[in-house]
């Protein structure tokens, strides 16, 4: 099931290695589960911390990509806990990435997110 839900920004957690590859080829194609499923998995502002905890717990050298959605054909589809998650069935142009934030770990191996996600 899909929805017409819209948000100005969505988020992608990726490794510094995958980000370097994207910059070299000029487009972000996703990685891992994205390539298996045939679309790029994203999270909303309210979902991204839980995504980090469930799928990237304690991992180092991660980045948080903030993506503007207005020029993308994002499909909102049911996923974890029947929530609607943003998916892109295409490559992500780097021009749609508005910021890249390094996700450091605290003393308990939890990722530290930018304060704008707390609003």
Q: In which band, very low, low, confident or very high, does the pLDDT at 1 lie, cut at 50, 70 and 90?
A: very low
Whether the pLDDT of residue 106 is over 70: the answer is yes
DSSP class of 32: T
106, with CB counted inside 10 A (0-12, 13-18, 19+), is exposed
What are the tens digits of pLDDT across the range 37-65? 999 999 999 999 999 999 999 999 999 99
What are the tens digits of pLDDT across the range 17-26? 999 999 999 9
Domain ranges of the chain: 2-118
The CATH superfamily of 2-118 is Protein of unknown function DUF952 (3.20.170.20)
């Amino acid at each position: 099931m899909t929805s017409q839900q819209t948000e100005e920004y969505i988020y992608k957690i990726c490794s510094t290695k995958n980000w370097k590859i994207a910059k070299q080829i000029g487009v972000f194609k996703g990685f891992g589960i994205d390539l298996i499923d045939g679309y790029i998995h994203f999270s909303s502002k309210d979902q991204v911390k839980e995504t980090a905890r469930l799928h990237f717990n304690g991992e180092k050298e991660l980045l948080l990509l903030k993506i503007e959605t207005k020029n993308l054909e994002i499909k909102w589809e049911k996923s974890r806990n029947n929530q609607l998650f943003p998916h892109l069935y295409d490559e992500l142009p780097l021009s749609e990435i508005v910021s890249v934030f390094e996700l450091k770990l605290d003393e308990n191996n939890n990722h530290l997110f930018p304060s704008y996600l707390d609003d």
